[in-house]
Amino acid sequence: MSVHALSTQKTEASLLSLDEHRPGRVGRWLVLAGFGGFLLWAALAPLDKGVPVSGSVMVAGSRQAVQPPTGGVIEQLLVRDGDTVSAGQVVLRMDPTQAQAQVGSLRVQYVNARAAEARLLAERDGRASIDFPQGLRDQAASAWVATVLESQRQLRSSRAQALEMELGGLRESIAGAEASLQGLQGSLASKQAQRDALDEQLRGLRELARDGYIARNRLLDSERLLAQVNGSIAEDFGSIGRARRQVLEFKLRIGQRQQEYQNEVRQQLTELQASAEDLDNRLRSAEFELAHTQVRAPVAGTVVGLSVFTDGGVIARGQQLMEIVPRDAPLLVEARASVDMIDRLRPGLPVELMFVAFNQSTTPRVDGEVTLVSADRLIDEKTQQPYYQVRIKVSDQGLGQLAGLDIRPGMPVEAFVRTGERSLLNYLFKPLADRVHVALTEE
């Protein structure tokens, strides 16, 4: 074999040896490159870090209790647990018989009181017509209200007539006394004229009697007649004084009677106004009770926790009959966080929510936001374990993603509160680093 042939064989053997080892080297390089890439990704790629919490669905405002402000007997129960109701819908009726009777009785008393008040105001002000309140005039189409108003008009007229008759009698007495006074004054004037004439006559008779031309008896007769006239004049003066006093007395009696009448009217008016106000308050209270014999839903939502079930049952004032879970209220999640994670939680942090009651392959994860972290830790009454309460609000976008799903209060929810970012290496080695730090500080 030649030297050239031998060299060729060695070269071929060397190349064959290189071909046999190349896949191993490539594989090792690929593994090293992959591991290096993984380490680079683990060191640099950001991963969400956060706090996982579990909770359940609730609605803003929580459940609304249905509590009647009045008690009574159930006439008709109109809903059952799970029924959907609208705001203001009647959910229960109580027997209104007693409330209706109370309202009817008080309304009659109130209308009578207000009508009498209007009549007394007319009497006080001296008006012949009664100005009834607009509320009564609006009800005048009702026969019984019209009867009440007419009776007050008749009473106003009869009382005015009675007063006028009484005052008229006094006015007639005044007229009689004044007529008598005029007669006395006329008689007095005549007698005074007669007296003046007798005085003149006596002056002449005295001169004649002094000269002896007439008998003294005639003079004495004239003097006696003058004395009689003067006595009659004095009596007339007394009668005139009495007549004038009678006129004044009758006038005073008229004023006094008018004042007594006004005082009587004012006293009755004061008492009646107080009574009318009391009746108004009682009527409003009775109407309130009658209106609330129909118990209505305070909000739109779903009936839960029904505590009455049969017609004819008795319910007490303020008794909780049922609760309404509000509809279309903001959707909230109430979760519990362990006490060792509380330092990482605060309002405003973003949250990823998973509604685990639904099929996870078709139910999206939705975004939310922490709205409340309790100021102090709470204790679970059953397990006696401490926790912090966390409240999460589902975002508007999240509500859109959940459209079509029957989300009910109490459904379980898993939440991940995102508190920042960290690498995989940090995630893997942080517990070890924390443990080493603790170990190095131990004595």
pLDDT of residue 58: 78
The predicted model gives 390-407 an average pLDDT of 83
Residue 372 has pLDDT above 60, yes or no: yes
As assigned by CATH, the class of the 99-291 domain is mainly alpha
Residue 11 has pLDDT above 90, yes or no: no
Residue 436 has pLDDT above 60, yes or no: no
pLDDT band at 173 (very low <50, low <70, confident <90, very high): confident
User: Is-contact 353 331, C-beta < 8 A?
Assistant: no
**Which comes out higher in pLDDT, residue 435 or 129?**
129
For the chain, residues classed under CATH 1.10.287.1700 are 99-291
**Which comes out higher in pLDDT, residue 178 or 272?**
272
Q: How far apart are CA 433 and CA 431, in angstroms?
A: 5
Residue 392 has pLDDT above 50, yes or no: yes
Chain-wide mean pLDDT for the chain? 80
Q: How far apart are CA 169 and CA 378, in angstroms?
A: 91
Of 281-295, 374-388, 403-417, minimum mean pLDDT range: 403-417
Residue 202 CA from chain centroid, whole number: 101
Its CATH architecture, for the domain 49-61+328-441, is Beta Barrel (2.40)
pLDDT of residue 396: 83
pLDDT of residue 437: 45
User: Is-contact 81 359, C-beta < 8 A?
Assistant: no
The predicted model gives 94-123 an average pLDDT of 93
**Percent of the chain, pLDDT > 70?**
81
pLDDT band at 111 (very low <50, low <70, confident <90, very high): very high
Residue 442 has pLDDT above 80, yes or no: no
Interval 21-40: pLDDT, tens: 556 666 666 766 666 665 55
pLDDT band at 42 (very low <50, low <70, confident <90, very high): very low
Interval 242-270: pLDDT, tens: 878 888 888 888 888 888 889 999 999 99
Residue 419 has pLDDT above 90, yes or no: no
pLDDT band at 438 (very low <50, low <70, confident <90, very high): very low
pLDDT of residue 140: 84
Q: How far apart are CA 124 and CA 225, in angstroms?
A: 60
Burial 213-242 (b: 16+ CB within 10 A, else e): ebeeeebeebeeebeebbebbeebeebbee
Sign of torsion over alpha carbons 73, 77, 82, 86? negative
Q: How far apart are CA 39 and CA 409, in angstroms?
A: 45
pLDDT band at 164 (very low <50, low <70, confident <90, very high): confident
Interval 135-157: pLDDT, tens: 888 888 889 999 999 999 999 98
Q: How far apart are CA 307 and CA 79, in angstroms?
A: 11
pTM for the whole structure: 0.56
pLDDT of residue 270: 93
pLDDT band at 212 (very low <50, low <70, confident <90, very high): low
User: Is-contact 401 366, C-beta < 8 A?
Assistant: yes
Q: What are the strands of the beta sheet with 322-326, ordered from one edge? A: 64-66, 322-326, 301-304, 84-85
Query: Helix/strand/coil (H, E, C) string of the chain?
Result: CCHHHHHHHHHHHHHHHHHHHHHHHHHHHHHHHHHHHHHHHHHHCCEEEEEEEEEEEEECCCCEEECCCCCEEEEEECCCCCCEECCCCEEEEECCHHHHHHHHHHHHHHHHHHHHHHHHHHHHHCCCCCCCCHHHHHCCCCHHHHHHHHHHHHHHHHHHHHHHHHHHHHHHHHHHHHHHHHHHHHHHHHHHHHHHHHHHHHHHHHHHHHHCCCCHHHHHHHHHHHHHHHHHHHHHHHHHHHHHHHHHHHHHHHHHHHHHHHHHHHHHHHHHHHHHHHHHHHHHHHHHHHHCCEEECCCCEEEECCCCCCCCCEECCCCCCEEEEECCCCEEEEEEECHHHHHHCCCCCEEEEECCCCCCCCCCCEEEEEEEECCCCEECCCCCCEEEEEEEEECHHHHHHCCCCCCCCCCEEEEEEEEEEECHHHHHHHHHHHHHHHHHHCC
Contacts of residue 201, Cβ cutoff 8 Å, sequence gap at least 6: 222
Task: Return left, alpha or beta for 323; rule: phi > 0 is left, psi -120 to 50 is alpha, else beta.
Answer: beta
For the chain, residues classed under CATH 2.40.30.170 are 49-61+328-441
Give the Å distances, CA to CA, from 332 to 16, 132, 304, 396.
72, 58, 19, 12
The predicted model gives 273-278 an average pLDDT of 92
pLDDT of residue 116: 93
Query: Helix/strand/coil (H, E, C) string of 303-337?
Result: EECCCCCCCCCEECCCCCCEEEEECCCCEEEEEEE
User: Is-contact 170 253, C-beta < 8 A?
Assistant: yes
Residue 179 has pLDDT above 80, yes or no: no
